[in-house]
Amino acid sequence: MMAAQPTATPGVRLGWKGLGALASPPRLALSRSAAAALASHRVGRGKFSAAAITTDDYLPMRSTEVKNRTSVDGIKSLRLITAVKTPYLPDGRFDLEAYDSLINTQINGGAEGVIVGGTTGEGHLMSWDEHIMLIGHTVNCFGTNIKVIGNTGSNSTREAIHASEQGFAVGMHAALHVNPYYGKTSTAGLISHFDEVLPMGPTIIYNVPARTGQDIPPAVIEALSGYPNMAGVKECVGHERVKCYTDKGIAIWSGNDDECHDSRGEHNAK
Domain ranges for the chain: 64-267
Q: Residue count of the chain, please give it.
A: 270
Domain 64-267 belongs to what architecture? Alpha-Beta Barrel (3.20)
Model confidence band, residue 118 (pLDDT cutoffs 50, 70, 90): very high
Model confidence band, residue 36 (pLDDT cutoffs 50, 70, 90): very low
pLDDT of residue 184: 83
Task: Kindly tell me the sign of the dihedral angle through the C-alpha atoms of 30, 39, 129, 104.
Answer: negative
What distance in Å separates the CA atoms of residue 251 and residue 85, rounded to the nearest whole number? 24
- Catalytic residue IDs: 206, 234
pTM over 0.85: no
Question: Of all residues in the chain, what percent carry a pLDDT higher than 90?
Answer: 59
| pLDDT, tens digit (0-9, with 9 covering 90-100), for 128-153 | 999 999 999 999 999 999 999 999 99
With a cut of 70, say whether residue 35 has pLDDT above it.
Answer: no
